[in-house]
Chain A
């Protein structure tokens, strides 16, 4: 069964303390791995798409990397405003409908000053 698993479930960091979030997947024939940020009571905000192993993308303090079995979201010198739930997702391509995504349960990140 296709699966996307995120760890840790929750992460508390002090401002400036760098760390990484993990997303492992068992989706066969992966057609991209997606990272989103979600603030409480809001819809997810698109961050990155990674399509092939070895690919890296950066945005401000965030860098996403992809291997054949997992993806990491590295957070360098985080600030309190980086506090959010980070979700990763992989495509469900059963059938002819494109665009269906399977989301992991997310990592709730809290950065305290």
Chain B
């Protein structure tokens, strides 16, 4: 099956710094990637949709200047959490879908962000 990787798997940063998370589709080209956020014992909340070569589309209530998304190629999307604060601590997960079946998404293993 399709494989999606994320890096890093865990990151701890100090309040006020920025953190970049990478999402890669390893064996297929993903025209669209999605970024989710998950709090403990909560479901996945869609943050934004990342399209290769164009600006990301953010869900209502998600600050686009805080969560910068770049989809530079068909296999790589990055999420940068700028000026991180403790309330940004969460589990961030990306997913990728192909053109044929965009809803049949494959998820990365997630990145645990802790802001101290």
Q: Could you list which residues of chain A lie within 8 angstroms of chain B, going by C-beta atoms?
A: 31-32, 34, 36, 41-46, 49, 87, 91-92, 95, 97-106
Contacts and interface: CB of A to CB of B under 8 A. Distances in A.
Contacts, number: 66
Interface string B12-47: 000000000000000000001010000000111110
B86 to A, nearest CB: 20
Contacts of A31: 103
Contacts of A105: 42-43
Given A41-B110, A43-B107, A99-B102, A87 B44 contact: yes
B56 to A, nearest CB: 10
Interface string B54-72: 0001000000000000000
Range for the number of chain B residues in contact with chain A: 20 to 34
Interface of B: 1, 4, 6, 32, 34, 42-46, 49, 51, 57, 91, 93, 95, 97, 101-110, 112
A41 to B, nearest CB: 7
Nearest to B42: A105
Given A87-B43, A97-B49, A102-B46, A46 B105 contact: yes
A42 B103 contact: no
